[in-house]
Amino acid sequence: MSKGTYFIRTFGCQMNEHDSERLAGMLEAEGYRKTDSAEGASVVLFNTCCIRENADTRLYGNLGHAKAIKDRNPGMKIVVGGCLAQKDRSAIQERAPYVDVVLGTHNLASLPRLLRESDEAPSFEILEQTEAFPSALPARRNSTWHAWVSISIGCNNSCTFCIVPAVRGKEISRPVYDIVQEVQGLVEDGVVEVTLLGQNVNSYGRDIGGTPLFSKLLYALDEIRELERIRFTSPHPKDFRSDSVDAMANCRVVCEHIHLPVQAGSNAMLRRMKRAYTRERYLDKIAMVRDAIPDIAITTDIIVGFPGETEAEFEETLSLVEAVRYDAAYTFQYSARPMTEAATMDGHLPKEVVQERYERLAALQDGISYQRNERMVGAEQEVLVEGPSKKDPARLTGRTRMNKLVHFPTDGAEPGSLRTVRIDKANTHHLEGSLVEGRTTDAPRSMSLPLVASTTSACSGCA
């Protein structure tokens, strides 16, 4: 029996996106139907993030807007879940007393019960430990051809800037057979690409097998016929070892892309961040992976303006970016978070200093991203179609195995289809191409790029 509609707004990372699919799955199992607007919905759920401070501000802005809708539709229930709920706990109740349900990161499965209880009075529940691995819950997947698959939750590291361990708890890995079974089922339902999720995928399995099992997992998934692509996020540089690189190189399905977050280029900063690797060790890992997979695309995360960052230390980050020549970088201005060590450190920097460094870094990386893309002009690439281009419906958008976004003229291909596309033009953040006549899936999976624009100075091990 239909109980009305639900609307979910998700903030933050892919893990939250996937948690939202589980929350949606539970709501549908309860008889709610999805809607695309909060207006008129019976349940409006905010799945929150707290990794940086602006996430807090955005949630409370959104709650104010939801309250205005609830005033017009008093039967509507407002639910707040996820990391910010785990962090703020009763503060949500105090700041937004009209919220009906608050649940944290460890008790997603309680949503139906908490919603029922909120018929009587607002219902709030935050647990300290995970009740059940989210994969045990039903999911309403947002895509028919791509799926997020959690391999572990939580994190055992203690990076001094990061609130994740405080709100997501200790690392818990899922058994290999459980993951393989889920992926097998997804493939039978038409999924061709999966992204494996964990805060530190390379320590996956340490809590169940004593040693990391990530490479074994990749080999096991590689056996699944009709699975076309595996991606994963994120490996932690300290745990990224040669067995994972070998598995990446040897497994047909593993894409030629790695996101290896570096955070900073100076050893003193890496120490203060407690990242447990040095600049030199990080560069060795980059060389190792490029040695095994020469055309691999490499992306990263970088924080600018960590407490005490000197101009000289920041310049070491710039020089590391120049040495690695990333395909793309997600750059963040440091944001002090409660429950983290860095928040209490001396040397918090003025906003103008951080902004100026952030812009310098972005300009440097944009130039490198463009040059990395320019190398691809003339190459034929296997592209997995995502759908019509948002700006131009006469074109399709898809991704290469190296995770480069490509726009090309449509031939009516459905999302999830594979096409061979010749790259005609490079831009900083995407490529443009044309379909190679009569070919759908047989582009070489790892090709040698034509070096038409080899203006770049490559680091040791670069293609």
- Tell whether residue 160 is a contact of ligand SF4 (CB under 6 A): no
Is residue 17 involved in binding ligand SAM (CB under 6 A)? no
Q: Is 200 in the site for ligand SF4 (CB under 6 A)?
A: yes
Assigned token pair, 334 = 């440091």
164 binds ligand SF4 (CB under 6 A): yes
Pick 335 or 365: Cβ nearer ligand SAM: 335
Query: Which whole-number Å values give the CA distances from 286 to 178, 201, 260, in the listed order?
Result: 31, 17, 9
Residue 165 site contact among ligand SF4, ligand SAM, none (CB < 5 to 8 Å, cut-off depends on kind): ligand SF4
Nearer to ligand SAM by Cβ, of 150 and 400: the residue is 150
Q: Rounded to whole angstroms, how far apart are CA atoms 224 and 194?
A: 12
Does 199 interact with ligand SF4 (rule: CB under 6 A)? yes
Reading the block at residue 65, the tokens are: 């807007």
C-alpha torsion 174→177→183→184, nearest 10? -160
Residue 308's CB is within 10 A of a number of other CB atoms, namely: 15
Q: Which does 335 bind (CB under 5 to 8 A by kind): ligand SF4, ligand SAM, none?
A: ligand SAM
Looking at the Cβ atoms of 339 and 451, the one nearer to ligand SAM is: 339
Tokens of 293: 């997979």
Sequence-separated (6 or more) residues with CB below 8 Å from residue 106: 86, 126, 127, 128, 129, 130, 131, 169
87 binds ligand SF4 (CB under 6 A): no
Q: How far is CA 291 from the centre of its chain?
A: 26
- List Cα–Cα distances, 76 to 118, 137, 253, in angstroms: 11, 24, 45
Q: Which of 187, 297, 303, 396 binds ligand SAM (CB under 6 A)?
A: 303
Q: Does 51 bind ligand SAM (CB under 6 A)?
A: yes
Q: Which is nearer to ligand SAM, 162 or 435 (CB)?
A: 162
- Distance in Å, CB of 234 to ligand SF4, minimum: 7
Q: Which is nearer to ligand SAM, 161 or 204 (CB)?
A: 161
The set of residues, in sequence order, having a beta carbon less than 8 Å from that of 176 and lying 6+ positions away, is: 205, 213, 216, 217, 220
Interface residue with ligand SAM among 87, 231, 236, 407 (CB under 6 A) is 236
**Which of the residues 389 through 408 are near ligand SAM (CB under 6 A)?**
none
Q: Is there binding between residue 283 and ligand SF4 (CB under 6 A)?
A: no
Interface with ligand SF4 includes 155 (CB under 6 A)? yes
Position 293 contacts ligand SAM (CB under 6 A): no
- 337 interacts with ligand SF4 by CB under 6 A: no
Strand order in the sheet with 101-103: 32-34, 4-10, 43-48, 77-82, 101-103, 123-125
Q: From the list ligand SAM, ligand SF4, none, which binds 266 (C-beta under 5 to 8 Å, kind-based)?
A: none
Contacts with 141 (C-beta within 8 Å, 6 or more apart), sequence order: 21, 147
Within positions 202 to 261, which residues make up the interface with ligand SF4, using CB under 6 A? 236
Cα separation values, 343 from 84, 163, 271, 306, Å? 17, 10, 16, 10
42 near ligand SF4, rule: CB under 6 A: no
**Chain contacts with ligand SF4 (rule: CB under 6 A):** 155, 157, 159, 162, 164-165, 199-200, 236
